[in-house]
Amino acid sequence: MLLNPVISKLSGKLVVLASASPRRLEILSNAGLRFEVVPSWFKETLDKSLFKNPYDYAVETAKQKALEVAHRMPFKHLKSPDVVIGADTVVTADGLILEKPTDKEDAYRMLSRLSGKEHSVFTGVAIVLCHDKSDYKVVDFYEETKVKFAELSEEMLWEYINSGEPMDKAGGYGIQALGGMLVEYVKGDFLNVVGFPLNHFCKQLGLIFNSPPESPAHKVKRESDEAWTLVSSLSESAANEEVELLKNGKDGSRMSMQEQNVIGTECSRQDIPHSIISLLDGFKASKTLFTASKLKVFDVLNSSNSQTLEEVAGQINASVLGTERLLEAAVSLGLLERVKQNTEQASRFLVSDSPESLNGYILHCNDMVWPLFSHLENAVREGTSQHERAFGKKNEEVFQDAYYSKDEVKIRFMDAMHSIARVTGKDVATAFELSSYKTACDIGGCTGAMAYEFTKAHPGLSVIVFDLPQVIEMRRHFQPKETDDRVSFVAGDFFKDDLPKADLYILARILHDWSDEKLHVLLSKLSKMCTPGCGLLVSEIFLDEERKRPSRALLQALSMTEGKQRSPTEYRDLLEKHGFTPNLYVIIFLGTRVKDHFISQNALPVFYTYNLVFRIAIPLSVIRI
């Protein structure tokens, strides 16, 4: 195979495809290339009138896609690619560039224009060689293929359009699928029409990796990370005027396309509020995760990755078009490895029957938290919970439903609590040396997921799970396959009933839920139960002292429940008021390294663990998840 001579050159390199196109992914995968998919955020809004030829436009778009990913990955993905591949395919007819149709009428206009005529398909490709974070070399090229359509009747046109296939295809058709029935002949590279000119790409790789240092690459140097951005970030009028002026030169002479490529990058530098733009789209990412989980996408893909798109759509009871777009979005968010394959994390945390599944908690966020936040404006104005607007019930009634209603509702809520405790329980249980404790009581321990992790981590410890009778009654639905007789369950209300006697009391995700008055009742009981040598372990999301760093706790507080979020100091003060002598140690759970300060930035909960004992000193621990 033509690609084989350069495979060894790419071995050990991080090769990235800056496209979510399943067609390009399939073409390159079939060629034996190993790569990651990181779809580009570059907005395809370049002014086509600035380009003399359609292929110049396709090449420039491909280059900007690849450069955006090459720049973003070291900072957003915390890894630097060696090679980034960008591509853009356009269809041209009668001198016009036909991209993806915006609606059915637009698809009809495109296909009518192509009916009975020969047209050109151009794919621009850019290969970015990333030597370091400030110096890129770019090889770009294009491929042209001629395609002739048969005369299309109105009936055939609309039958094809109503299939949904044209809506995400350049020129309004996909030659590799139903659109192939419209084609009379093809002159040139067939795969180029599908979306990627594999033959030309392989030849370019051979030139790059098998040639002397004088490669066909030109440099694109980035002077500062802060100033770097893309052509699309400029206002259209300013960008068009500035780029046109520079392309023509001071004396009006036309610059080469290679010089224009470098100028295009230089012209695009200005400050852009990337953090604000990320926040603008944050809700879309969350809802993509929620929807994929609710439709059981990860379960379906876990059973087999050899299914067709139509088969996946049938199993999740969705349209083919909607399924394809959902899968492509999931790939872009890193939830899927490719359009029909789970990532390792998705298999661990998103498949519903996985031992570490977060599926229950994700569905809880979709069904219970999302509706609340859709009324955030009212919550802020009124300073009250929006349960009545969201669910037609007051906060107390929603709580009653969770614990006292039909089994189905109760199990759904318990499943949410069970899934988050199951994923985080081991880290909480192993945060401290607890060998001196013989008995523990997990207050509000729900299904016992946390308790089982404590007994696994500490062979000499037995744990009592203390929760409402309605919760204890339903625990059988969540018991692990291998039961542990060191975990027992006691029914009761921790505000009203006596607490079981224990050496260690565990409060995991409890304190933030309740008002100061109710916490006074609970903590006063605990204070009376504890004797010298007893311990209290509190696991909570915590705020940084100045409320400046990103925190899930600050966002969670906007739900306006009766409880509140606290910083480490505020938790210490709360507990000291009830007679506890604190030794404060912080456990930070996150996905990046921790230095000498507190950070709260990961997608999973961040836990502040506070250990209150009278005679035991416990070292500071930093845990990564």
Whether the pLDDT of residue 610 is over 50: the answer is no
For residue 361, being part of any structural domain is answered with no
Q: Comparing C-alpha atoms, which of 589, 594, 590, 625 is closest to residue 608? A: 589
Task: Average the pLDDT over 332-357 and give the result.
Answer: 85
Q: Comparing C-alpha atoms, which of 256, 250, 253 is closest to residue 218? A: 256
Task: Average the pLDDT over 217-224 and give the result.
Answer: 47
Lowest mean pLDDT among 170-174, 371-375, 617-621: 617-621
d(CA 618, CA 620): 7
CATH number of the domain where residue 97 is located: 3.90.950.10
With beta carbons less than 8 A apart as the criterion, state whether 509 and 458 touch: no
d(CA 418, CA 413): 9
Q: Compute the mean pLDDT over every residue in the chain, rounded to the nearest whole number.
A: 76
The pLDDT, as a whole number, for residue 216 is 54
With beta carbons less than 8 A apart as the criterion, state whether 451 and 423 touch: no
pLDDT per residue as tens digits for the range 240-275: 433 343 344 433 333 434 444 443 443 344 455 666
Question: Which of the pair, 603 or 101, is modelled with greater confidence?
Answer: 101
189 is catalytic: no
Domain shared by 542 and 611, yes or no: yes
Q: CA neighbours within 13 Å on the CB side: how many for 54?
A: 20
For residue 455, being part of any structural domain is answered with yes
CATH number of the domain where residue 484 is located: 3.40.50.150
Encoded tokens for 401:
């439903």
Domain shared by 213 and 285, yes or no: no
Domain count across the chain: 3
Encoded tokens for 422:
């199951």
Task: Average the pLDDT over 158-168 and give the result.
Answer: 85
Q: Comparing C-alpha atoms, which of 498, 581, 571 is closest to residue 538? A: 571
For residue 241, being part of any structural domain is answered with no
Token look-up 């079939």 returns: 30
Domain shared by 205 and 309, yes or no: no
Task: Average the pLDDT over 406-424 and give the result.
Answer: 77
With beta carbons less than 8 A apart as the criterion, state whether 312 and 300 touch: yes
Q: 3-class DSSP state for residue 43?
A: coil
d(CA 559, CA 94): 56
With beta carbons less than 8 A apart as the criterion, state whether 278 and 284 touch: no
The pLDDT, as a whole number, for residue 497 is 92
Whether the pLDDT of residue 385 is over 60: the answer is yes
d(CA 606, CA 589): 5
The pLDDT, as a whole number, for residue 405 is 53
d(CA 613, CA 182): 77
Q: From 348, 377, 406, give the residue that closes a domain.
A: 348
The pLDDT, as a whole number, for residue 312 is 92
The pLDDT, as a whole number, for residue 470 is 85
d(CA 21, CA 33): 16
Q: Which listed residue (56, 88, 140, 427) is catalytic?
A: 88
pLDDT per residue as tens digits for the range 106-157: 889 888 888 888 999 999 999 999 876 567 889 999 999 999 988 888 888 8
Share above pLDDT 90 across residues of the chain, in percent, rounded to a whole number: 23
Question: Which of the pair, 433 or 625, is modelled with greater confidence?
Answer: 433
Question: Which of the pair, 172 or 396, is modelled with greater confidence?
Answer: 172
Q: Compute the residue count for the chain.
A: 625
With beta carbons less than 8 A apart as the criterion, state whether 540 and 571 touch: yes
Phi, psi (deg, nearest 5) at residue 200: -65, -40
Question: Which of the pair, 105 or 423, is modelled with greater confidence?
Answer: 105
Chain centroid to CA 519: how far?
36
Question: Which of the pair, 612 or 285, is modelled with greater confidence?
Answer: 285
With beta carbons less than 8 A apart as the criterion, state whether 489 and 541 touch: no
The pLDDT, as a whole number, for residue 219 is 55
Domain shared by 342 and 456, yes or no: no
Encoded tokens for 251:
């004396």
Cα distances from 537 to residues 390, 423, 565, 569, in angstroms, run: 35, 18, 17, 16
The pLDDT, as a whole number, for residue 276 is 75
Beta strands in 150-296 (DSSP E): 183-187, 218-221
The pLDDT, as a whole number, for residue 59 is 94
CATH number of the domain where residue 331 is located: 1.10.10.10
Domain shared by 458 and 569, yes or no: yes
Domain shared by 220 and 285, yes or no: no
For residue 386, being part of any structural domain is answered with no
For residue 418, being part of any structural domain is answered with no
Domain shared by 609 and 525, yes or no: yes
For residue 108, being part of any structural domain is answered with yes
Domain shared by 40 and 185, yes or no: yes
Domain shared by 200 and 298, yes or no: no
Dihedral sign of CA atoms 314, 319, 324, 328 in order:
negative
With beta carbons less than 8 A apart as the criterion, state whether 535 and 511 touch: no
With beta carbons less than 8 A apart as the criterion, state whether 216 and 207 touch: yes
Q: What's the 3-state SS for 137-161?
A: EEEEEEEEEEEEECCCCHHHHHHHH
Domain around 301? 281-348
Domain shared by 289 and 210, yes or no: no
Task: Average the pLDDT over 171-200 and give the result.
Answer: 87
Domain shared by 65 and 180, yes or no: yes
With beta carbons less than 8 A apart as the criterion, state whether 138 and 217 touch: yes
What count of other Cβ atoms lies within 10 Å of the Cβ of residue 126?
A: 27
Whether the pLDDT of residue 563 is over 90: the answer is no
For residue 595, being part of any structural domain is answered with yes
Q: 3-class DSSP state for residue 500?
A: coil
The pLDDT, as a whole number, for residue 4 is 54
In one-letter notation, the amino acid at residue 536 is L
Q: From 348, 374, 396, give the residue that closes a domain.
A: 348
Question: Which of the pair, 310 or 216, is modelled with greater confidence?
Answer: 310
Q: From 319, 348, 377, give the residue that closes a domain.
A: 348
Q: How confident is the model at residue 298 (pLDDT cuts 50, 70, 90)?
A: very high
- According to DSSP, residue 583 is labeled B
The pLDDT, as a whole number, for residue 134 is 60
Whether the pLDDT of residue 441 is over 80: the answer is yes
The pLDDT, as a whole number, for residue 498 is 92
Task: Average the pLDDT over 56-70 and give the result.
Answer: 93
Task: Average the pLDDT over 491-516 and give the result.
Answer: 90
Domain shared by 220 and 299, yes or no: no
Encoded tokens for 504:
């260690």
Whether the pLDDT of residue 232 is over 90: the answer is no
Whether the pLDDT of residue 173 is over 90: the answer is no
For residue 531, being part of any structural domain is answered with yes
